Structure 1
Amino acid sequence: MGDLAMEHRSNKRQNTLEKSLLGRLTADIGAAIASATLVAPAVTIIDRALVEKSLLNQALIRGLRNHAVSAFKHPARFVFQVPFGIIWALYASTFTVANGTDTIGNAMNAPSTGMMTFITTTAVNVPLGVWKDMRFAKIFGTQAAPVAAAGAVDVARPAIVQNRAVARTATAIFLLRDSVTIFGSFTLAPKLSEAIPDSLATHPHAKPIITQMTVPVFTQLVASPLHLLGLDLYMRQHPVPLVDRLKRSQQYLPSTTFTRCIRIIPAFGVGCVANLELRSYFHEKLDSREG
């Protein structure tokens, strides 16, 4: 009888742990979806303006203003278009995997949960980010080129010349760019938050908020040159001297770096903070219910 009672208690405890883990993973998905929905509009507008600036030389501020006004006037059309769906899927997947890996790692008491989170998040975000860039370049980069003279006839941009070697190089650069951003957002920012002295941040949530709103921004000082070079390689797949590519990329480097720094604030600043806060709130609710 004693063995049966112990086995019953063990099975009950195992079922409770499984239910608790399932509840936490469900909460993780909910937090990820809400956070992605929050940041997707701003990121979609900024990413489109960046691509049009880099590939079609359209004025960045004008593009941001026009796309923001269009989204405000026609929200349903904006939300149900392909670009918004791509951005939403990218961040919903990224936050879901980051949350889920951290939850499972903590449940298993894994000593390398942080590294596991970086690896799995990178494995999901980077390919999706590269796919997003390719789709955005195809959707917006091959649209009619802008003309300076009023009343001039739009001239279609020539089709991209395919070169597998150059395309693979562009993809590799996009992979490196996104790895830098993911490392700064999901690994470096939490680590640096632990180094902030209590005298500078007394509130328990202040430290991660400070680093989450700043560290991903600084990663763009490295990611932005890679971003421009990757776009140039993708759009000009014919043989071009590297010096020429770098020279052309540098023309847009200051404005692109500034814009990507602004872009990263909603994407991995506000987005990550909202995700962390919502996830923490949902987990606390589960803990209080179970207690």
Structure 2
Amino acid sequence: MLQEDKASNLLTKRFGIDVFSAASAAFAVSPFITIVDSGRNKLGAALKSGFAELFTRPHRFIRTPAFLLVFGVYFSTYTTANVIDTVCSYTNRDNQTPKFLGTTIANMTTCIYKDRAFTRMFGIVAPKSLPLGTYGLFATRDALTIAASFNIPPVLARELYDRKIILNYDTAQNFAQMLCPAGVQIVSCALHLLGLDLYNRPGVSLSSRISLLAKNYLKTTITRIARIGPAFGIGGVGNRMVKERASELIFDRQQVGVVVTAFK
């Protein structure tokens, strides 16, 4: 009973680290994402005014509804991923499928809420319902991004390290975390553009859609890489580093062993 109580106490601390790490990562990336998302219609002006307010009145910036909505998306997504990692580790179960499903659900639901709120705040036309095809394409797009942000980087990092392509494991982790979320946009951008075109131009021919995709693909891909890279690349590296450093400060090997033993 004493061992189980100690394990429960340590697990509570681990959940605290999970939440703290998620909050740190979300707080670091949310200002940039907020500014970009707020300027969907006039990006240049939004970047100028957004960064001006961020650096001159940061206390006001972080209290705006736009910032809080974006922070909520990434805080919930990173918290979900961290908690699932912890639970799977302490119950000796594989984390890949639970983390993919959990983070996908958390990210999609919070993004839908955030996008609806942003449409009311910054939209220039009245929103209309999404076609089923657009829902499917957007869901696939987001699922690819989540897999590339939370599932693939650890696998790629281990491969790079084991094959001695990158000799330092921390470097391999950072490289994989930065590469994967950005790299998957090469594929998911096409889904994004097709989904938008189904929404904006219902009933047009396939050749017309392909022509529009070819025209906008490169610049849209660059834009999405610039947005997703910080959100899940820099944010993912920061989340992992904060978790590791906080764990080193709070736990020692003996304590971790007690937790693992109690939950087997």
Identify whether the pair has TM-score above 0.5, normalized to the shorter chain.
yes
1:125 to 2:89 alignment = no
- 1:205 is aligned, of 170, 188, 197, to 170
Contact residue 193 and residue 211 of structure 1 kept, 8 A: yes
Q: Distance in 1 between matches of 2:167 and 2:194?
A: 42
Question: Is the 1:130–1:171 contact (alpha carbons within 8 Å) kept by the matching residues of 2?
Answer: no
More helix by share: 2
Superposed counterparts of 1:186-197, under 5 Å: 186-197=150-161
1:18-51 alpha-carbon deviations (Å, 9 max, x no partner): 11111101110011011100110011122333x3
* TM-score of the aligned structures, taking structure 2 as reference length: 0.85
Report the count of equivalent residues.
Answer: 254
Following superposition of structure 1 onto structure 2, how do residues 11-160 of structure 1 map, counting pairs within 5 Å?
Answer: 11-49=1-39, 51-52=40-41, 58=42, 60-110=43-93, 112-142=94-124, 157=125, 159-160=126-127
Rounded Cα–Cα distance in structure 2 between residues aligned with 1:106 and 1:197 = 22
Secondary structure at the aligned position of 1:196 is classed as helix
Note closer, same or farther for the CA distance 1:63–1:253 as it changes in structure 2 (3 Å cut). farther
Residue from 243, 255, 266 that aligns with 2:219: 255
Indicate how the Cα distance of structure 1 residues 187 and 251 shifts in structure 2: closer, same or farther if over 3 A, else same. same
Separation in 1 of the partners of 2:193 and 2:118?
14
Specify whether residues 71 and 233 from structure 1 end up closer, same or farther in structure 2 by C-alpha distance, changes over 3 A only: farther
Q: Quote the Cα distance in structure 2 between the aligned partners of 1:233 and 1:83.
A: 27
Asked if structure 2 preserves the Cα contact closer than 8 Å seen for 1:39 and 1:271, the reply is: yes
| More contact order relative to length (CA 8 Å, sep ≥ 6) | 2
| Larger displacement relative to structure 2 (197-206 or 258-267) | 197-206
Deviates most, 62-71 or 168-177: 62-71
Query: Which secondary structure state, in structure 1, belongs to the residue aligned with residue 160 of structure 2?
Result: coil
Once residues 249 and 136 of structure 1 are traced to their aligned partners in structure 2, the CA distance between those partners, rounded to angstroms, is 25
For residues 216 and 52 of structure 2, what CA distance do their matches in structure 1 show?
A: 24
Taking structure 1 as reference, are residues 240 and 177 closer, same or farther at Cα in structure 2, changes over 3 Å only?
same
Report the equivalent of 1:270: 234
Alignment check: 8 A CA contact 1:129 1:178 kept: no
Say whether the 8 Å CA contact 2:161–2:168 is kept in structure 1.
Answer: no
Aligned AA for 1:76?
Answer: H
Judged with a 3 Å threshold, the aligned counterparts in structure 2 of structure 1 residues 69 and 241 are, in CA distance, closer, same or farther, namely farther
- Specify whether residues 72 and 232 from structure 1 end up closer, same or farther in structure 2 by C-alpha distance, changes over 3 A only: farther
RMSD: 2.4
Alpha-carbon distance in structure 1 between the residues aligned to 2:35 and 2:223: 11
Q: What is the aligned counterpart of 1:220 among 169, 174, 185? A: 185
Runs of 4+ in 1 over 6 A off after TM superposition: none
Match of 1:185 in 2: 149
Higher radius of gyration, 1 or 2: 1
- Shifted more, 131-140 versus 170-179: the winner is 131-140
- Asked whether the equivalents of residues 167 and 237 of structure 1 are also in contact (C-alpha less than 8 Å), the reply is no
Question: How far 1:177 moved relative to its partner?
Answer: 1.1
| Letter aligned with residue 276 of structure 1 | R
Structure 1 range deviating more: 96-105 or 201-210: 201-210
Counterpart residue identity of residue 27, structure 1: I
| Equivalent pair of 1:127/1:175 in contact (CA under 8 Å) | no
Identity %: 31
Distance 1:83 1:229, change over 3 A: farther
Larger mean Cα displacement after TM superposition, 253-262 or 198-207: 198-207
8 Å Cα contact 1:225-1:253 kept in structure 2: yes
State the 1:289 CA deviation: 9.4
Per the alignment, in what secondary structure is the counterpart of residue 187 of structure 2? Answer: helix
TM-score under structure 1 normalisation?
A: 0.78
Q: CA deviation at 1:233?
A: 4.1
| Separation in 2, partners of 1:105, 1:241 | 47
Displacement, 1:169? 3.0
1:220-247 alpha-carbon deviations (Å, 9 max, x no partner)? 112222223334444x376554544554
Q: What amino acid is the match of 2:3?
A: R
